Structure 1
Amino acid sequence: MPEAERPALRRLATARRVAKHRLSRRNIGRRGQLIGLTAALAAAAGTTAVGVSSSATGPAPTSTGLSPSQADALTAARIDRRDLGSRDSSRIDLSLAATRKAAADKAAKQRAARLATNATLTERRALALASAKAVAARKAAAKAKALAAAKAAALAKAKAAAAKAKAAPKIVLPTTGYHLTARFDQAGGRWAHNHTGLDFAAPMGTPVRSVMAGEVIQADYEGAYGRQVKVRHADGTVTSYSHMSEFDVSVGDSVSAGSKVGAIGMTGNTTGPHVHFEVLPGGGSPIDPEPWLREHGVNP
């Protein structure tokens, strides 16, 4: 039995005992009234003895000497007494049923309230979980987007570098704004032997550039050649740049095609500002630079 129903049932049992006690007292009073009524009826009929059962519901008297009307009245009184007792019992049963129903309704309401509370908590937990999942999904999406953007940027940078390298010239002429003043194997009183390169005459300070990518193997003052820079290229060929007014590289530097190595000058044995350019295959004896330059794609 639910704990909530016990106080109500105790109150109902107490009420039932009180009602039973009241009914017993009422029956005793009515029994006395019935005896008095019977005695009065017997006296009116001229009888001298009346026998009545001590029990309200016991056997009928053995000899009453009542007239039919008196007997009917007595029977009606007995029926009324029985009906009254039945009504009292019915009232108690109805009261008990009502109390039980009220207790059951109260318990049902309490269960419904608990279920509603649990449903609300479940709904709140579900909403919190959904919100947490949404936040995690947004963070994951943002992280993935950032990674994709970084990857795209790195790829674009690599493509740009590759395009730049592809677009960069593989070979250039050693200077610009020049005119040739001496060619390979040309004789003249200015040289101890025939000329060993090409002379590119240009204004003082005009940049002198490495014709191809390579490594600087010399940057020093070299007697009649004045300030001289030599660059070794990938195939082992060495190019030489002489009579410069300054150095812009040091030994060990890596240069690309077009990198500045110095400037037009008049150092060493020279009569005017120019750069003396030589090509030395494998670092050996010089060859004619003109056909070599044309073979590599430039025409001096």
Structure 2
Amino acid sequence: MSDNNSDEPLAVVGAGVMGTAVAALAVGHGHPVTLIDSSPRAREDAPDRVRFQLRTARMMNALPEDRPVGPLTVAGTQDAAAGASAVIEAVTEDPKEKAAVLAGLAAATGPGTLLVSNTSGVPIEELGDAVPHPEDLVGVHFMNPAYLIPTVEVVLGPRTGDAAARAVHTLLAGLGRRGIVVGDGPGFVTSRLLHRMINDAIELVREGRATPETVDALMRDCIGHRTGPLATADLIGLDNLADSLRVLHDRTGDAAFRPSELLLEKVRRGHLGRKSGRGFYDYEEAIR
């Protein structure tokens, strides 16, 4: 397992919100990136989404000015990851789908290639059962948007090897990211704390005790939460939030993680937050 630098190729699987943001971060630091997704629509949209995020990152001085942008290749099958120095799985927070993707990536790349699961809550030890060499697997929880937030959670499972632990820190340093190692387990640290708070905030709205604007204003101005929990939920994606809460509820048995019925209703209506134009707030003008 080799150290990573800015000219080593990376593969990212999943061309959704997080996958395209991670791809933008990587090409913005000079890495050649293969972005893989089985959906033709996602592949068609991916280059424009990555370019948009690159422009945003540059406007906010979030990328190094002394590195040329790495090339982006879009592919439809996981065998396109062959030859990558590291692969980052960034599919939806569905444990079975993540496990299947990681198994395919392990087969495409072979032993000794760093396998990174971008997960907000699925234990790395659980995902390790899906790959033949769990010593190559590490969890990294990139925050959204990945090209703006410089600190990430790093999760080393019980079977993660020393080589993978070293390689992930080298990879993150090359992406201008600081990794903080936490213990494995459902939700790790950030999701274990944040998702409970967001779910409680949604319940307050469902109960009619406060509007989304009121909840967020109080949490911003009294508690110091930068955006407020409901604006954060819209940024995460309400479908992704619901999936993450289910993971936490199923694995902890804690009723506080059972997704609020108001959250589930919004997901059923397709009100998924910023990415759909509407969630707890209206973003339709912003995405036109």
Provide TM-score, normalisation by structure 2: 0.18
Q: For the pair shown, which has the larger CA radius of gyration, 1 or 2? A: 1
Provide TM-score, normalisation by structure 1: 0.18
